[in-house]
């Protein structure tokens, strides 16, 4: 039936502040609780940051006499209250409305949330759940194709400060509309669950969807994050926009990225230097990155600095591997700039730690993942997995900690990646890794 009715298939679900009914045909996945807890926490920190930036801009305008009053909210924000200058959020693919209800009840500094879904049954369930949770003041249920809704919201006064895309599988068909309907400096939250494609099982499908050739590598989870970021950046660049990743997480069977989208034609010129091709040896699996572009700041004779954009020379797919002589596979381009913002991660950890313990169902896991993220070498893309390195040299497995300390003693930096527990992220050249292992 199309009419919303309680049926034997309905389940009552309680997740943190929200209590919802998930009907038989409406999508609900309990495993995504971590994703929702993380998103609520990120939005709280982001809301504070955005409102602070807006307050500062408004104060400057008042001082310069451009506007009479800044009409801005005070800094002590409360969840559940409506703020006229707060965040305008679109949950484009909302299903039961659970995520939107949690944003309404748990994120401070919200103006309004559009909880949208294409399915009539889903939108009826959103309506019921919104009423049941008494958040009609903040949430407007909407039944529309997400693309149409976003394309109709590309005018300045209609832009969203936050767009959450949580589709089945690949998010790519929604990205063109999303980067256009997001406000300058707004936050895009994107989930992708098509991990087999991103991990290189069908490179032709990944190229068609994400514009990137994936490689079957041990670091496939971070590679997947970088493929998605590359794709969002290229969509943004078409409209004179560029992305600033705040946090990029690989968890369970999906990846989730949180990126700000800014407007600047000038900054788009730097985009080429944030992407790289990846060369992977078909014998020992050593990888090398080759930036698509490089940036040089030259000082001219008159003392004026000038930025030059160049195409670098570097490893070539035709060249054999310097370590074992095999040929290379070539993949990419991927996003090779940092995937997290260090300052944002610090604030986020603080915010999660400040919460009463167990306020979030997955709080301990969140703390654990974010602690590893904070330690990650932000400027070193991808990682090796020690078991695989040992396997290439037919060595017995070596304890990760001992290998890490060998690298540290040799004067290099090393960290784990949150995406794999046996990972070795290091700025040591591959020759050093192989030398250490050969002497083991
Ligand atoms: N965000 C939800 C959560 O946290 O529970 C789960 C969303 S579920 C994975 C995907 C939803 O997208 C489904 O409810 C489906 O009806 C909806 N959907 C699929 N295509 C759509 C489209 N073009 N426009 C709007 N909604 C769509």
Q: What is the pTM of this model?
A: 0.94
| The pLDDT value given to residue 4 | 43
pLDDT value of residue 341 = 98
Q: Cα–Cα distance between 270 and 362 in angstroms, integer? A: 38
Query: What pLDDT is stored for residue 229 in this prediction?
Result: 98
DSSP string, 165-196: E--SS--HHHHHHHHHHEEEEEEEEEEE--HH
**What is the pLDDT, as a whole number, of residue 2?**
38
Query: CA-to-CA distance for 424 and 6, rounded, in angstroms?
Result: 51
Residues β-bridged to residue 164:
91, 189
Residue nearest to atom 5 of ligand 1 (CA): 28
Please give the structure tokens belonging to residue 151.
Answer: 């394309």
Burial 219-245 (b: 16+ CB within 10 A, else e): bbbbbbbbbbbbbbbbbbbeeebbbbb
- Nearest ligand 1 atom to the CA of 28 is 5
Go through the chain and tell me how many residues it has.
440
The CA-atom distances, in angstroms, between 135 and each of 17, 95, 406 are 11, 17, 56
Angle of CA points 43, 105, 125, to nearest 5°? 105
Model confidence pLDDT, tens digit, residues 339-380: 999 999 999 999 999 987 778 899 999 999 999 999 999 999
* Cβ of 151 below 6 Å from ligand 1: no
Mutate to test the pocket of ligand 1, among 167, 191, 192, 252 (most ligand atoms within 8 A of CB): 167
Residue 230 in contact with ligand 1 by CB distance below 6 A: no
Instruction: Please give the pLDDT value at position 295.
Output: 85
- Block means of pLDDT (10 residues each) for the chain, length 440 residues? 50 90 83 96 96 87 70 73 94 97 97 97 96 97 98 89 97 98 98 96 96 96 98 98 98 97 96 96 94 82 79 75 93 98 97 86 96 97 96 93 96 97 95 94
> Which is the closest atom of ligand 1 to the Cα of 36?
4
Count, in order, helices (H) and strands (E) of the chain.
14, 17
Whether the predicted interface score ipTM is above 0.85? yes
């Amino acid at each position: 039936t199309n009419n919303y009715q309680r049926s034997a298939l309905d389940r009552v679900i309680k997740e943190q502040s929200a209590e919802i009914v998930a009907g038989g045909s409406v999508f609900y996945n309990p495993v995504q609780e971590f994703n929702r807890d993380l998103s609520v926490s990120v939005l709280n920190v982001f809301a504070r940051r955005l409102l602070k930036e807006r307050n500062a801009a408004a104060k400057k305008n008042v001082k310069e006499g451009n506007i009479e009053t800044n009409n801005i909210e005070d800094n002590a924000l409360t969840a559940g209250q409506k703020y006229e200058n707060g965040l305008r959020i679109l949950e484009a693919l909302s299903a039961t409305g659970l995520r939107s209800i949690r944003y309404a009840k748990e994120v401070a500094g919200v103006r309004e949330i559009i909880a949208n879904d294409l399915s009539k049954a889903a939108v009826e369930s959103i309506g019921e759940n919104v009423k049941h949770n008494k958040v009609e003041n903040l949430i407007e249920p909407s039944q529309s194709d997400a693309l149409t809704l976003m394309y109709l919201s590309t005018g300045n006064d209609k832009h969203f400060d936050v767009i959450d895309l949580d589709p089945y599988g690949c998010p790519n068909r929604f990205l063109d509309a999303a980067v256009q309907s997001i406000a300058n400096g707004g936050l895009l939250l994107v989930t992708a669950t098509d991990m087999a494609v991103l991990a290189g099982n069908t490179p032709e499908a990944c190229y068609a969807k994400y514009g990137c050739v994936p490689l079957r590598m041990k670091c496939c989870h971070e590679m997947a994050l970088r493929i998605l970021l590359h794709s969002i950046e290229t969509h943004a660049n078409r409209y004179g926009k560029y992305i600033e990743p705040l946090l990029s997480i690989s968890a369970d069977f999906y990846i989730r990225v949180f990126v700000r989208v800014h407007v600047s034609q000038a900054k788009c010129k730097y985009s080429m230097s944030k992407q790289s091709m990846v060369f992977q040896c078909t014998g020992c699996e050593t990888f090398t990155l080759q930036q698509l572009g490089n940036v040089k700041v030259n000082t001219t004779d008159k003392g004026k600095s000038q930025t030059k954009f160049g195409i670098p020379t570097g490893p070539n797919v035709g060249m054999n591997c310097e370590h074992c002589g095999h040929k290379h596979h070539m993949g990419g381009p991927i996003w090779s700039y940092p995937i997290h913002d260090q300052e944002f991660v610090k604030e986020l950890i603080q915010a999660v730690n400040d919460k009463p313990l167990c306020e979030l169902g997955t709080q301990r896991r969140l703390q654990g993942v974010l602690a590893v993220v904070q330690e990650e070498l932000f400027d070193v893309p991808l990682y090796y997995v020690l078991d695989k390195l040992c396997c290439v040299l037919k060595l017995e497995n070596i304890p990760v900690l001992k290998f890490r300390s060998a690298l540290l003693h040799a004067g290099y930096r090393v960290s784990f990646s949150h995406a794999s527990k046996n990972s070795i992220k290091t700025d040591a050249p591959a020759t050093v890794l192989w030398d250490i292992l050969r002497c083991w």
